[in-house]
Amino acid sequence: MVDIHHHLLWGLDDGSKDIETSVAMVKASAEDGVTHIVCTPHANGTYDFVPEANAAKVAELHERLVAEGVTMNIGLGCDFHLSYDNILAAKEDPSRFSVNGLGYLMVEIPDYGVPRGLTETFYELQLVGLTPILTHPERNPTIQNDLPRLAEWMRGGVLLQVTGDSVTGRMGKTAQRIAHELLAKRWVHFLATDAHNVSSRPPRLSEARDAVAKKYGEEYAESLVTTNPLAVFTGKPFEAVEEPIDLYEEYKEKNWFSRIFTRG
Ligand SMILES: [Fe+2]
């Protein structure tokens, strides 16, 4: 499996606190069946985001893992917050924030007060070659009450990542209900751990993968944890294994052509 959302690098944000914790997190991931991890430290007003320093940490971690005989492919991206400064910087240098500099961008939106102009912001990011992946919408209180906004972004090409622990109910009942609503519609493209440590928020993905396989089918589950996220890791396009349900219908109804042809 490929985990594209993981606060693995130590001392940068509210994720891992030291290199020992990071090594333990990698070992836990490997035991769970993960072969690739994308480090996604927060890039926001609270935490400095310096890609060069992050890359140096990846190299240091890699050395430690080799010494301990642990195999893991480690990539680098960020948990991109939609601040004015970040958006400007991403437009100037799109590879700076994207996963392995290859175009997919993990985007987190604020819990409350989601700005109205986000559809345009996503479009502007796409114009410079970035593919936004919205992280854990099922945990966002604004989105939980406004799935049509999510649909609007998705019609524009935004992809969705749901947290594995939301699927299994570890993130609360509402997040679980929304996660399953999205999965049932096949709107989800990725499952990821959003791991922060080895205790309260450990890297746990197989449990969610198995739950999705049981309820929605093996093929869909596999695409969410392996095929699709591997395309992100390597910067390649991918095709959803199943068509999204109820995503374009509402849009079609607004179209004059379909209105004429659905009359009596
Ligand atoms: Fe995160």
Ligand 1 centroid to Cα of residue 27, in Å, is 19
Measured over the CA atoms of residue 24, residue 30, residue 33 and residue 38, the dihedral's sign is positive
Predicted confidence (pLDDT) at residue 264 exceeds the cutoff of 80: no
Predicted confidence (pLDDT) at residue 28 exceeds the cutoff of 90: yes
pLDDT at 248: 85
Quote the Cα angle for 79-140-95, to 5°: 20
Ligand 1 centroid to Cα of residue 39, in Å, is 10
Q: At 75, list the tokens.
A: 């990539």
**Cβ-contact 162, 136 below 8 angstroms:** yes
pLDDT at 100: 98
Give the C-alpha distances (Å, rounded to integers) separating 263 from 156, 248, 249, 257: 28, 19, 16, 10
Ligand 1 centroid to Cα of residue 70, in Å, is 24
Q: Which fold has domain 2-262?
A: TIM Barrel (3.20.20)
pLDDT at 259: 60
Ligand 1 centroid to Cα of residue 90, in Å, is 18
Predicted confidence (pLDDT) at residue 256 exceeds the cutoff of 70: no
Ligand 1 centroid to Cα of residue 228, in Å, is 19
The amino acid at residue 107 is V
Predicted confidence (pLDDT) at residue 174 exceeds the cutoff of 80: yes
Ligand 1 centroid to Cα of residue 47, in Å, is 13
From CA 120, how far away is CA 100, in angstroms rounded?
25
pLDDT at 38: 98
Q: Give me the residue spans of the domains in the chain.
A: 2-262
Ligand 1 centroid to Cα of residue 29, in Å, is 16
pLDDT digits (tens, 9 = 90+) for 119-146: 999 999 999 999 999 999 999 999 999 9
Give the residue-averaged pLDDT of 178-191: 98
Ligand 1 centroid to Cα of residue 218, in Å, is 26
Alpha carbon 4 to chain centroid, angstroms: 6
Ligand 1 centroid to Cα of residue 43, in Å, is 10
pLDDT at 257: 62
pLDDT digits (tens, 9 = 90+) for 49-63: 999 999 999 999 999
Give the residue-averaged pLDDT of 3-13: 96
Give the residue-averaged pLDDT of 37-43: 96
Ligand 1 centroid to Cα of residue 190, in Å, is 14
When pLDDT is cut at 50, 70 and 90, the band that residue 251 belongs to is low
Ligand 1 centroid to Cα of residue 6, in Å, is 7
pLDDT digits (tens, 9 = 90+) for 89-118: 999 999 999 999 999 999 998 887 787 789
- C-alpha closest to that of 205 among 33, 14, 7, 15: 33
When pLDDT is cut at 50, 70 and 90, the band that residue 183 belongs to is very high
- pLDDT averaged over every residue in the chain: 93
pLDDT digits (tens, 9 = 90+) for 67-77: 999 999 999 99
**Cβ-contact 222, 233 below 8 angstroms:** no
pLDDT over 90 for what percent of the chain? 86
Ligand 1 centroid to Cα of residue 252, in Å, is 35
When pLDDT is cut at 50, 70 and 90, the band that residue 48 belongs to is confident
Predicted confidence (pLDDT) at residue 263 exceeds the cutoff of 80: no
Ligand 1 centroid to Cα of residue 251, in Å, is 31
Least confident of 33-37, 41-45, 182-186, 232-236: 41-45
Ligand 1 centroid to Cα of residue 13, in Å, is 10
